[in-house]
């Protein structure tokens, strides 16, 4: 299989003045597994579309330069020709799923190649097995969760047997265990079949152990091109760009006497370096001194949201079972669990999108009726997982103007009133004020949707995957802004997420769902200490929490949630994080 060569490519979208890609020159060698990362809007998705031949054939704009697959100029080929060489999985799976059922979707591509029926069936079977969706082959697409749709999109692309596979954030809606399963499949395809993989991702911590090469983009150019262990030699550059550095890399920088210039890129490597050292012994002694973790103290205030004996079923499919849950004022509650465990269904009931099959939901002790969305919107706002469905203004400015015009008139406090300019600065979109929202990157559109919701001054904000498509810098800045609002404006947040680093950093409480019921409900330090139980719920704790548990033989009642705490527990006082 040939190499892919990007030859001095510059691309500017129709209607835009500034190029998104700037004289990009890059060779991806046959059989490489490449991580392509960078901040939102840096050009990652645009490069993926160029590699797949969708630019310039399907997406308008001005392209200079060419992309070659061996001697073939991809930029001048038809999509039919390109798709048999290079496959792409889009950031939003809804953009490429066109059939009614899982099986029909995966068979659609091979059928259009006019293959024999036996070959089509074999490809469908194999592709569904790769992604763990074989048991759901007859399920309707519309009934799947976001993560399950992503698995189907990956299966459908694999069924085309491309030699090069380009994936644009294919794990953004997957639970952490599901992410590792997909990465394992990609690595297997890469090693056993020589498939070239280009993976666009913000989940650097989770992806870095699997790849051969790291490309960091900034403002349309590649600013780092290195092996995983050398990619973080200049940590300040990564911080400036706004992309997170893996926790194990940061830990090694803080304990140079242990790692002696080597760079661990996984928990296993860091564990091997620290096991039996004075740091590990100090961590164990810290746990012995620690009083056993206590349960959450019962809150004295009345709950702002309450699910009482709630069940939800679609025909014979039980989605939620006997849910009893209270959310108290100014809490930041993270709801986590595997794909399809009922997280979004649980939150949607609180907004009145549907009625429960059994039980009741209360908002400030008033019962929530199914269909009473406008009534609920007076007290709470809901960020959809597919935030694009919330945008309809001609410009970013007009999105905000609509929100202010139709927002809640009575404000919680004049001190929390925010202007359009302040919100644009907060979500880092001030320079795009007059841009069409759909000319923004996926991550930028997500920030826009959240910013517009805040024009309503909601008392309760339900966030369904708020960090999807966000680089670490923008995600952290916005979540810190929400945290400041929570403290000053008495806001309450319910956050559905697969981003465990965000849970560790911001959540005051974690609720874990499994099979439609509540499996755990505690503070993050206690929940993340139960890593084996969490694995059965599709959850991997943050790397530093995993390392803490492993070094303590899984007997720690609570674990460190960040490097600073870990170092303080190991008596590495005075070492920066």
Structure confidence by residue, pLDDT tens digits, 516-574: 999 999 999 999 999 999 999 999 999 999 999 999 999 999 999 999 999 999 875 43
Does any domain span residue 298? no
- The highest-confidence range among 173-182, 235-244, 416-425, by mean pLDDT, is 235-244
Maximum distance among all Cα pairs of the chain, rounded to whole angstroms: 71
Residues 334 and 475 in one domain: yes
**Is the residue at 55 inside a domain?**
yes
Name the domain count of the chain: 2
**Which pLDDT band holds residue 40 (cuts at 50, 70, 90)?**
confident
| pLDDT band (50, 70, 90) for residue 324 | very high
State the average pLDDT for the chain: 90
* 204 and 75 co-located in one domain: yes
Over 90: is that where the pLDDT of 385 sits? no
Per-residue confidence (pLDDT) for residue 321, from 0 to 100: 96
Question: What is the structure's pLDDT at 84?
Answer: 87
The pLDDT-based confidence of 239 (bands split at 50, 70, 90) is very high
pTM greater than the 0.75 cutoff: yes
**Does 143 fall in a domain?**
yes
**Which pLDDT tens digit goes with each residue over 428-458?**
899 999 999 988 887 788 889 989 998 888 8
In a domain? residue 289: no
The least confident of 52-56, 65-69, 195-199, 283-287 is 283-287
* pLDDT for position 300: 62
CB-based contacts of 558, cutoff 8 Å, min separation 6: 290, 293, 523, 525, 526, 529
- 247 and 343 share one domain: no
Cα separation, 137 vs 107, whole angstroms? 11
pLDDT above 80 for 381: yes
The answer on 245 and 378 residing in a single domain is no
Q: Report yes or no on 91 lying in a domain.
A: yes
pLDDT range class, residue 48, cuts 50, 70, 90: very high
Alpha helices, H only, 263-388? 267-274, 278-289, 343-351, 373-376
- Is 416 part of any domain? yes
Tens of pLDDT along 294-305?
Answer: 445 555 679 999
Residue, of 91 and 169, whose pLDDT is higher: 169
C-alpha 221, offset from chain centre:
23
Q: How far apart are CA 427 and CA 450, in angstroms?
A: 9
- Residue 577 is predicted with a pLDDT of 39
Please identify, among 253, 284, 317, the residue that sits at the C-terminal boundary of a domain.
253
The whole-number average pLDDT for the span 467-493 is 83
Co-location of 333 and 245 in the same domain = no
pLDDT, residue 517, reads 97
Mean pLDDT of 162-178: 90
The answer to whether residues 333 and 248 belong to one domain is: no
Looking at residue 147, its pLDDT comes to 82
d(CA 41, CA 239): 16
pLDDT(408) > 80? no
The answer to the question of residue 118 being in a domain is yes
Res. 415 pLDDT band, cuts 50 70 90: very low
Same domain, residue pair 53 and 199: yes
Whether 258 is in a domain gets the answer no
Euclidean distance between CA atoms 524 and 392, whole angstroms = 37
For 5, what's the count of Cα atoms within 13 Å in the CB-facing half-sphere? 11
**What's the CA gap between 553 and 533, in Å, rounded?**
15
Question: Do residues 249 and 333 share a domain?
Answer: no
Residues 248 and 334 both lie in one domain: no
Mean pLDDT, rounded, for 310-321: 93
Q: How confident is the model at residue 417 (pLDDT cuts 50, 70, 90)?
A: low
Instruction: Tell me the C-alpha distance between 152 and 424, whole Å.
Output: 36
Domain that holds residue 484: 329-360+370-570
Q: What is the pLDDT of residue 404?
A: 85
pLDDT at 299: 53
Domain termination residue (choose one: 221, 253, 285): 253
Q: What is the percent of the chain with per-residue pLDDT over 70, rounded to a whole number?
A: 95
Are 414 and 507 in a shared domain? yes
Mean pLDDT, residues 391-404 taken together: 91
Q: Is the pLDDT of residue 468 over 90?
A: no
Q: Is the model's pLDDT at 424 over the cut of 60?
A: yes
* Range from 96-100, 119-123, 451-455, 475-479 carrying the lowest mean pLDDT: 475-479
Q: Do 352 and 206 reside in the same domain of the chain? A: no
CATH number at residue 172: 3.40.50.300
Burial of 576 (0-12, 13-18, 19+ CB in 10 A): exposed
Residue 56 has pLDDT above 70, yes or no: yes
Q: Is the pLDDT of residue 576 over 70?
A: no
Is residue 512 predicted with pLDDT exceeding 50? yes
The answer to whether the CB of 353 falls within 8 A of the CB of 464 is no
Of the candidates 235, 253, 271, which is a domain's last residue? 253
- One domain, residues 216 and 333: no
């Amino acid at each position: 299989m040939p190499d892919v060569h990007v030859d001095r490519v510059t691309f500017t979208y129709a209607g835009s003045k500034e190029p998104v890609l700037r004289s990009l020159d890059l060779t991806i060698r046959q059989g490489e597994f490449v991580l392509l990362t960078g901040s939102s809007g840096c050009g990652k998705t645009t490069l993926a579309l160029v590699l797949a031949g969708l630019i310039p054939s399907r997406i308008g704009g001005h392209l200079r330069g060419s992309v070659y697959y061996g001697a073939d100029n991809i930029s001048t080929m038809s999509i039919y020709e390109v798709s048999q060489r290079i496959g792409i999985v889009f950031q939003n799976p809804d953009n490429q799923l066109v059939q009614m059922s899982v099986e029909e979707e995966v068979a659609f591509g091979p059928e259009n190649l006019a293959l024999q029926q036996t070959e089509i069936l074999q490809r469908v079977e194999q592709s569904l097995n790769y992604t763990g969706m074989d048991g759901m082959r007859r399920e309707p697409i519309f009934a799947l969760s976001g993560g399950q749709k992503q698995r189907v999109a990956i299966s459908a692309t694999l069924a085309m047997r491309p030699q090069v596979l380009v994936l644009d954030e294919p794990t953004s809606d997957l639970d952490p265990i599901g992410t590792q399963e997909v990465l394992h499949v990609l690595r297997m395809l890469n090693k056993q079949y020589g498939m070239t993989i280009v993976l666009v991702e913000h989940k650097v911590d989770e992806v870095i152990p699997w790849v051969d090469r790291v490309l960091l983009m900034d403002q349309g150019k590649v600013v780092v091109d290195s092996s995983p262990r050398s990619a973080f030699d200049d940590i300040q550059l990564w911080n400036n760009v706004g992309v997170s550095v893996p926790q194990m890399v940061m830990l090694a920088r803080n304990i140079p006497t242990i790692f002696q210039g080597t760079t661990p890129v996984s928990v296993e490597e860091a564990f091997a370096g620290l096991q039996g050292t004075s740091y590990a012994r100090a961590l164990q002694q810290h746990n012995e001194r620690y009083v056993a973790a206590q349960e959450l103290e019962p809150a004295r205030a009345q709950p702002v949201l309450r699910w009482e004996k709630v069940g939800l079923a679609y025909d014979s499919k039980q989605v939620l079972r006997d849910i009893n849950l209270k959310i108290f004022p100014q809490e930041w509650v993270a709801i986590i669990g595997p794909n399809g465990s009922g997280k979004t269904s649980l939150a949607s009931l609180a907004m009145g999108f549907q009625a429960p099959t059994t039980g009741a939901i209360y908002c400030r002790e008033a019962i929530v009726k199914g269909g009473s969305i406008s009534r609920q919107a007076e007290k709470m706002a809901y960020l959809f997982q597919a935030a694009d469905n919330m945008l309809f203004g001609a410009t970013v400015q007009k999105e905000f103007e609509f929100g202010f015009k139709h927002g809640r008139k009575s404000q919680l406090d004049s001190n929390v009133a925010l202007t359009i300019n302040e919100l644009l600065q907060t979500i880092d979109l001030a320079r795009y004020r007059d841009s069409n929202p759909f000319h923004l990157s996926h991550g930028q559109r997500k920030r826009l949707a959240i910013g517009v919701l805040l024009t309503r001054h909601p008392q309760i904000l339900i966030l369904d995957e708020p960090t999807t498509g966000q680089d670490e810098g923008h995600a952290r800045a916005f979540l810190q802004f929400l945290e400041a609002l929570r403290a000053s404006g008495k806001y309450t947040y319910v956050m559905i997420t697969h981003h465990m680093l965000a849970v560790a950093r911001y959540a005051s409480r974690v609720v874990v769902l499994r099979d439609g019921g509540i499996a755990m409900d505690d503070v993050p330090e206690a929940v993340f200490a139960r890593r084996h139980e969490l694995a059965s719920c599709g959850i991997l704790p943050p790397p530093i929490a995993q390392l803490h548990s492993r070094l303590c033989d899984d007997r720690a009642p609570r674990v460190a949630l960040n490097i600073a705490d870990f170092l303080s527990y190991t008596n590495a006082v005075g070492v920066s994080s």
